[in-house]
Chains A and B, each alone.
Chain A
Amino acid sequence: MAVAEEQTRREKPAILLGIANPAMVEPLAILAARLAKGADHRLVVSHMVSIPPQMDLAAARELPEVSRASALLRYAVRVASRRGVQAEAVVEAARDPHQGLVSAVESQDARLLLVGYAKPDGEDPEGHRLENVMRGVAEEARCDLVVAKLQSDAFDSVYVPIADETNLPLTSLLVRSLAETGTRARFGRVASPDVDREEASRELKDLLRKYQLSGLGPAELLVGKDPTTKILERARAHHGLIVGARPRASLASGLFGDRSERLADQAECSVLVVRSHHRGR
Chain B
Amino acid sequence: MADQVNTENPERAAGGGVQIELAKGLGLFEALAIGVGTMIGAGVFVLPGVIIGKTGPAAVLSFFFGGVIALLTAMAAAEVATGMPKSGGGYYFISRALGPLWGDIIGWGSWFGLIFASAFYMVGFGEYLHTVTGIPTKVSAMAMTGLLVVLNLLGSNVAGKAQNLIVAVLLGVIVLFIGRGSFSLDTELVTSDFMPFGWGSVVAGTAMIFVTYCGYGEIASMAEEIKKPGRNLPKALLGSVIFVTALYCVIMFICSALRPREGLQSATVVADLAGDLMGGFGRTAILVGAILATVSSANASIMSASRISFAMGRDRLVWDWLNRVHPRFRVPDRAIWITGALTAGVVLLGDIELLAEAAGLLHLLLYGLISVACIILRGAKREAYKPQFKTPLYPIVPLLGAAGCGLVIGFMSPMTLLMGIIIIAFACGHYYLWGKRRTDLKGAWPYFLRHGMLEPALDQVERWGAEADERPTVAVAVAHPERQRARLRIAAALVGPARGRVLAVNVYRTEVWASMEEKQLEEYYSVVQEREAALEEVADSLRGYGAEAVSLVPVTASLFYGLVTSAQASHAALAMVGWPGEQRADQPAVDLVGSLDEHLRTHLLVLRETGAVPAQRIVAFPRENDGDLVIPVAARLANEWHAELTFAAWVPSGTGAEAIIDVEEELERRAGDVARYGVRAVEAATYADAILSEAHLADMIVAGCGMGEVSSLIDDVGDAGECSVVVARGAPGQPLRMRV
Closest to A58 in B: B87
Report the stretch among A83-91, A235-243, A252-260 that lies at the interface: A83-91
> In chain B, residues 302-319, which have Cβ atoms closer than 8 Å to a Cβ of chain A?
303, 306-307, 310-311, 313-314
- Binary contact track A91-111/B, C-beta < 8 Å → 1, others 0: 111111001101110110000
> In chain A, residues 103-126, which have Cβ atoms closer than 8 Å to a Cβ of chain B?
103-104, 106-107
**Inside 8 A of A92's CB, which chain B residues have their CB?**
21, 23
| A218 proximal to B (CB < 8 A) | no
* Total A-B residue contacts, Cβ distance less than 8 Å: 117
Expressed in whole angstroms, the Cα–Cα distance for A26 and B315 within the complex equals: 40
> In chain B, residues 630-672, which have Cβ atoms closer than 8 Å to a Cβ of chain A?
657, 660
Structural contact, B157 and A53, CB atoms closer than 8 A: yes
**Inside 8 A of B314's CB, which chain A residues have their CB?**
58-59
Expressed in whole angstroms, the Cα–Cα distance for A53 and B16 within the complex equals: 29
**Inside 8 A of B724's CB, which chain A residues have their CB?**
none
Structural contact, A55 and B20, CB atoms closer than 8 A: no
**Inside 8 A of A62's CB, which chain B residues have their CB?**
325
| B259 proximal to A (CB < 8 A) | no
Expressed in whole angstroms, the Cα–Cα distance for A60 and B20 within the complex equals: 9
**Inside 8 A of B331's CB, which chain A residues have their CB?**
52, 54-55
Expressed in whole angstroms, the Cα–Cα distance for A14 and B86 within the complex equals: 27
Tell me how many residues of A have a C-beta within 8 Å of chain B: 39
Instruction: With a 10 A CB-CB cut-off, give which of B86, B88, B325 has the most chain A CB atoms.
Output: B325
| A135 proximal to B (CB < 8 A) | no
Expressed in whole angstroms, the Cα–Cα distance for A56 and B155 within the complex equals: 13
- Binary contact track A148-189/B, C-beta < 8 Å → 1, others 0: 000000000000000000000000000000000000000000
| A3 proximal to B (CB < 8 A) | yes
Structural contact, A56 and B160, CB atoms closer than 8 A: no
Q: A95-B225, A103-B24, A107-B10 are in contact. Are A88 and B16 (CB under 8 A)?
A: no
| A2 proximal to B (CB < 8 A) | yes
Expressed in whole angstroms, the Cα–Cα distance for A266 and B20 within the complex equals: 38
- Binary contact track B132-164/A, C-beta < 8 Å → 1, others 0: 000000000000000000001001010010000
Tell me how many residues of B have a C-beta within 8 Å of chain A: 38
Q: A61-B20, A95-B23, A103-B25 are in contact. Are A53 and B13 (CB under 8 A)?
A: no
Q: A52-B155, A54-B332, A70-B13 are in contact. Are A91 and B224 (CB under 8 A)?
A: no
Q: A52-B330, A54-B307, A61-B13 are in contact. Are A103 and B86 (CB under 8 A)?
A: no
**Inside 8 A of A57's CB, which chain B residues have their CB?**
22-23, 87, 224-225
Expressed in whole angstroms, the Cα–Cα distance for A125 and B730 within the complex equals: 75
Structural contact, B224 and A103, CB atoms closer than 8 A: no
| A205 proximal to B (CB < 8 A) | no
Structural contact, B330 and A91, CB atoms closer than 8 A: no
- Binary contact track A55-74/B, C-beta < 8 Å → 1, others 0: 11111111101100110011
Closest to A61 in B: B20
Identify which of B18, B24, B657 contacts A107 (C-beta below 8 A): B24
Structural contact, B22 and A93, CB atoms closer than 8 A: yes
**Inside 8 A of B152's CB, which chain A residues have their CB?**
54
- Binary contact track B77-110/A, C-beta < 8 Å → 1, others 0: 0000000001110000000000000000000000
Tell me, rounded to whole Å, the shortest Cβ–Cβ distance linking B536 to chain A: 51
| B200 proximal to A (CB < 8 A) | no
Instruction: With a 10 A CB-CB cut-off, give which of A4, A56, A61 has the most chain B CB atoms.
Output: A56
| B19 proximal to A (CB < 8 A) | yes
Beyond contacts A54-B155, A55-B331, A69-B18: 8 other A-B pairs, Cβ-Cβ < 8 A, are: A57-B224, A70-B13, A88-B17, A90-B19, A93-B20, A102-B25, A103-B24, A107-B21
Measured CB to CB, the residues of B under 8 A from A are: 10, 13, 16-25, 86-88, 152, 155, 157, 160, 224-225, 227, 303, 306-307, 310-311, 313-314, 323, 325, 329-332, 336, 657, 660
Measured CB to CB, the residues of A under 8 A from B are: 2-5, 52-63, 65-66, 69-70, 73-74, 77, 88-96, 99-100, 102-104, 106-107
Selected A-B contacts with CB under 8 Å, 16 pairs:
A2-B660, A52-B157, A52-B331, A53-B303, A54-B303, A56-B307, A58-B88, A59-B325, A60-B20, A66-B20, A70-B13, A77-B17, A95-B225, A102-B23, A103-B21, A104-B23
